[in-house]
Structure 1
């Protein structure tokens, strides 16, 4: 079973901004800070609003959230890092356009994999937060954070660095991006005497943090001990033949997770802004190529209809989508509005990592609409006004039978 909550409280958002016009203006103001790297997306939003790219609301809130989690004395870095990554991407796109297009799918897959891992980590942290702390050993808490630290580095930040290193090396070394993706984090992040690779520490220092790699390796190699009473981790550092023992506290471990998570999120925001700017220039390549991106897009398309996709759960070949309607009464036109998204639900199920035979739409925890995936596939093959009306009738009749 996989369960993920929505990070953004769209219910509150819709209460304060019923038409989303206020949000539209705030997003325009935010993107204006990144000119000239946002000229095209600004024209699009000013002319047509956010309806073509509703998921940009997520990027705006991710950016806003950064200011609530980053230390005040480091908040100036947020915009600087995003601008630096945008400048790097934009320069490569303009000067080596063919190379960017040739590597677009690889870049997209690497980025999507990193974003999926971000979502998995969010799910793990949510699960931990739901547990009663009185029944969790301190050792388990520390081990959990060690695991999150390793996943932040290897599963998220390490992947997000691959396109950056690829661009940095393109003119001098020209390493294929898939080769860069296979490198260790330390080879991308830190300067090494015996390596000719470009790295963040020497060549893109704005993203550099003094990271405790020994602490990362301690979890990976299981050569550490935990003292629950003092909340310290003792691990090996230095030469393998004659290592030294070093200690870190749980607070220091949390600080390591925090600062590397900040770097990863800021790189991710820059990648997304860059995609929005050039989305129309990639014919035939649709950005929503994985479950998580499909999920975000559907959630925000529904939002414009006063519907909030709060979370999802997968159980026994059924993908359950939990939706909240902002008004107390649910009329038939609301259900039809949901069913108009059936093809998007099909794409969502196709990109899920487990087989999906049924999608259940749970509205306000009071109405459950089961939709057989095959029914949607049949509709997709012959989508007309008549077949869609028949689809609606079939689903609603099945709903009555289940009531």
Structure 2
């Protein structure tokens, strides 16, 4: 059983999915090297970073094969494992021995700039924490939430923190403001991969994502109470930043290179004050490049499961789904086995309703490989009848950072064959 990210590295290395970069490298050179590493696909550990004590790792979700190997299934079956396990709940358990608290540093004893966090893009305002799992509790109910939020380094014990208006974390913050109290927050770096996956899944607000992490792992997540705040964190993580968000405190943050491939310009965002740092004796620091395969696989896997679940509830047989084609998760390709004509349009509307960020969705037949871009374009080229196969839905809520604005038009494409014409569209085989 893999208990932490280090065990996951052993697992990947045994299968040839991990590279170790042992030569000295500067922090500034790593982002471009990561671009090259993404093409290779393997996870990577930079073991010798000039002027920094701790190693850095990335690309832990660089291929779907990683998740298939972890779950013991094919890449096509990963979505079904997700779908089934996200319905389960395995609550975390407290442990006495917490490697993440081998070292405890109070305010004045640490400088988070000593960790090798990156400036990822040319116009980024500075260095960012991009792989921190944010853990907070609802001030009224005590339910834990896990999320991803970018954090701009602003000093030894201070970062900016971006929250989306639709996130549970923002709801918790507003509740704390109404109660005139700070919101206690822990930033967990280098956690078990299932903790990252659960932080990206967006379940109903009354669900503790650590319960989902346990279900994905099929074993409870070991947790420990933070040293300075009333929040629990994974005991086998690498680093935890403990701190608070104070009511109505905002500062300029950004620009930042977003996963869509554009810059988010400077804006007012929240301020995270760090009161304590706990970590292993020799911690490893995780980074995620926005828009990388690492990023999109992490954020998109649970969304595929969410969409497939919705379509199956309508008795639509889904034979394949891929939301990770375009370096983001705003476009989805779904293969179905049609039972009646025009059901593809029902599937399109259900997909858009299931995941509001989705901007473009393509439905293809069961004989099309949703993981093969050339096969998808073959279906578009030969099977799409544009006068009947397009669904344009204007004035819908979409992704808040879309350059066209949150209210956008969604495009659905039915690239399936009419049932009575199936024989005419038989594919050539050898």
TM over 0.5: no
Higher helix share: 1
Higher strand residue share: 2
Name the larger-Rg structure: 1
**Greater relative CO (CA pairs within 8 A, separation 6+):** 1
Return the TM-score normalized by structure 2.
0.28
Give the TM-score, by structure 1 length. Answer: 0.29
